[in-house]
Structure 1
Amino acid sequence: MDKVIPRKSKKIRYLTIGIGAFLVLATVVFFSFNKKRSLNVKGDELIVKKVEMAFFEDFMVFQAKVEPLNVMLVNVTEGGSVKEIFVENGATVVKGQPLARLYNPNTELNYLTQETAIIEQINNLNTGKLNIRNQELNLNKDLVLIEHDYNDAKRLFDMNSKLFDKDVISKNDWNTFKEGLRFQEERKRTIQQSIQKEKQTNQLQISQINRSIQTMEMSLDILRNNKKNFLIIAPESGRLTSFQPVLGKTFQAGESIGRLDSKQGYKLKAEVDEFYLEKMREGLKGEIEYQGKILDVVVTKVIPEVKGGHFSIELNFDPKEKIILQDGLSFGVKLILSERNKILVLPKGNFNQETAGKWIFVVNGNKAERRTIKLGRENPSYYEVLGGVKEGESVITSSYLDYKDVEELSISSQ
Structure 2
Amino acid sequence: MDIQIEKKKFSKSKIITFAGIALLLFLIIYVIYATSGGAKLAVSKERISISTITNGVFQENIPVSGIVLPITTIYLDAIEGGRVEEKFVEDGAIMKKGEPILRLSNTDLELSLINQETSVYNLLTQMQISQNAARQNTINRLNQFTDVENNLIEAKRLYDLNTKLYEKGAIGRQEYESSVNNYNYQKQRMKLTKEVLQQDSISNKQEIQQAKNSYIRTQSALKLMRKKVEDLVVRAPIDGQLTSLDAEIGQSKNKGERLGQIDVITGFKVRVDIDEHYISRIYTGQKGTFSLNGKQYTLVIKKIFTQVTNGRFQVDMVFENEVPKGIRRGQNLQIQVALSAEKQALLVPKGGFFLKTGGNWIFKLSEDGQSAFKVDIQLGSQNTKYYEVISGLKVGDKVITSSYDSFNEIEQLIIE
Residue 122 of structure 1: how far off its partner (Å): 5.2
Which whole-Å CA distance do the structure 2 matches of 1:408 and 1:290 have between them?
A: 44
Query: Cα distance, 1:67 vs. partner?
Result: 2.0
> What is residue 387 of structure 2 aligned with on the other side?
383
Residues 64 and 333, structure 1, Cα contact 8 Å, conserved in 2: yes
State the AA in 2 paired with 1:374.
Answer: Q
1:209 to 211, 214, 217: 211
Residue of structure 1 in register with 2:17 after alignment: none
Task: Classify the secondary structure of the residue corresponding to 1:188.
Answer: helix
Give 1:43-58 correspondences, 5 Å limit: 43=44, 47-50=48-51, 52-58=53-59
CA distance in 2, matches of 1:249, 1:358: 66
Matches within 5 A, 1:263-302: 263-302=265-304
Task: Report the residue type matching 1:381 in the other structure.
Answer: K
SS of 1:262's equivalent in the other structure is: strand
**Which residue number in structure 1 is paired with residue 377 of structure 2?**
373
1:72-83 correspondence to structure 2 within 5 Å: 72-83=74-85
Is 2:73 the counterpart of 1:71?
Answer: yes
Once the two structures are superposed, residues 157-180 of structure 1 have per-residue CA deviations (whole angstroms, 9 ceiling, x without a partner) of 456556656655432122212311
1:104–1:357: structure 2 CA closer, same or farther, 3 Å change rule?
Answer: farther
Measured in 2, the distance between the counterparts of 1:252 and 1:350 equals 57
Equivalent pair of 2:300/2:318 in contact (CA under 8 Å): yes
Residue among 82, 86, 89 paired with 2:88: 86
- In the alignment, the residues of structure 1 paired with residue 187 and residue 381 of structure 2 have an alpha-carbon distance, to the nearest angstrom, of 108
Paired with 1:39 and 1:109, the residues of 2 have a C-alpha distance of: 94
Aligned 8 A contact 2:298 2:321 in 1: no
CA contact (8 A) 1:369 1:407 kept: no
1:385 aligned partner, one-letter code:
V
Q: Aligned equivalents of 2:48 and 2:401: distance in 1?
A: 6
Any unmatched runs of 5+ in structure 2? 1-31
Q: Structure 1 residues 397 and 289 mapped into 2: Cα distance closer, same or farther (>3 Å)?
A: closer
Bigger Cα displacement from structure 2, 382-391 vs 37-46: 37-46
C-alpha distance in 1 between matches for 2:363 and 2:287: 37
Assess, with a 3 A threshold, how the Cα gap between structure 1 residues 142 and 324 changes in structure 2: closer, same or farther.
farther
Indicate if the aligned counterparts of 1:272 and 1:311 stay in contact, CA closer than 8 A: yes
Q: Which moved more, 1:297-306 or 1:375-384?
A: 297-306
Say whether 1:102 aligns with 2:92.
no
In structure 1, what residue type is equivalent to 2:383? N
Instruction: Judge conservation of contact 2:78–2:259 (CA < 8 Å) in 1.
Output: yes
When structure 1 is superposed on structure 2, of 161-170 and 55-64 the one drifting more is 161-170
Q: Which amino acid is 1:326 matched to? A: R
For normalisation by structure 1, the TM-score amounts to 0.77
Cα deviation for residue 334 of structure 1 reads 3.5
**Retained in 2: the 8 A contact 1:122–1:216?**
no
- Aligned equivalents of 2:290, 2:127: Cα separation in 1: 70
Alignment of 1:83-232 (within 5 A): 83-117=85-119, 119-121=121-123, 123-124=125-126, 127-157=129-159, 160=162, 164=166, 167-232=169-234
Distance 1:372 1:118 in 2: 91
After TM superposition, give the deviation of residue 99 of structure 1 in Å.
Answer: 0.9
SS at match of 1:253: coil
Q: Contact 1:51 / 1:389 at 8 angstroms: preserved in 2?
A: no
- CA distance in structure 2 between the partners assigned to 1:125 and 1:407 by the alignment: 104
- The Cα shift of 1:148 comes to 3.7
Bigger mean CA offset, 75-84 vs 133-142: 133-142
Question: 2:11 is matched with which residue?
Answer: none
Q: Give the SS at the match of 2:231.
A: helix
Conserved in 1, the CA contact under 8 Å of 2:363 and 2:375? yes
- Residues 48-87 of structure 1: CA distance to partner in whole angstroms, max 9, x if unpaired? 4335023243233333222222333333211223211101
TM-score (normalizing by structure 2) = 0.76
Contact 2:58 2:388 in 1 (8 A): no
Residues 375, 122 of structure 1: CA spacing in aligned structure 2 closer, same or farther, 3 A cutoff? farther
From the superposition, tell whether residues 321 and 392 of structure 1 become closer, same or farther in structure 2 (CA, over 3 Å). Answer: closer
Taking a change above 3 Å as real, the CA distance of residues 219 and 64 of structure 1, as seen in their structure-2 partners, is: same
State the shift of 1:201 in Å: 3.6
1:251 aligns with 2:262: no
Q: Secondary structure at the match of 1:380?
A: coil
**Take 1:252 and 1:38, find their aligned partners in 2: how far apart are those partners?**
77
Residue 333 (structure 1) shift: 2.6
Contact 1:90 1:239 in 2 (8 A): yes
Alpha carbon RMSD of aligned pairs, Å?
3.6
Cα distance in structure 1, aligned partners of 2:151 and 2:228: 60
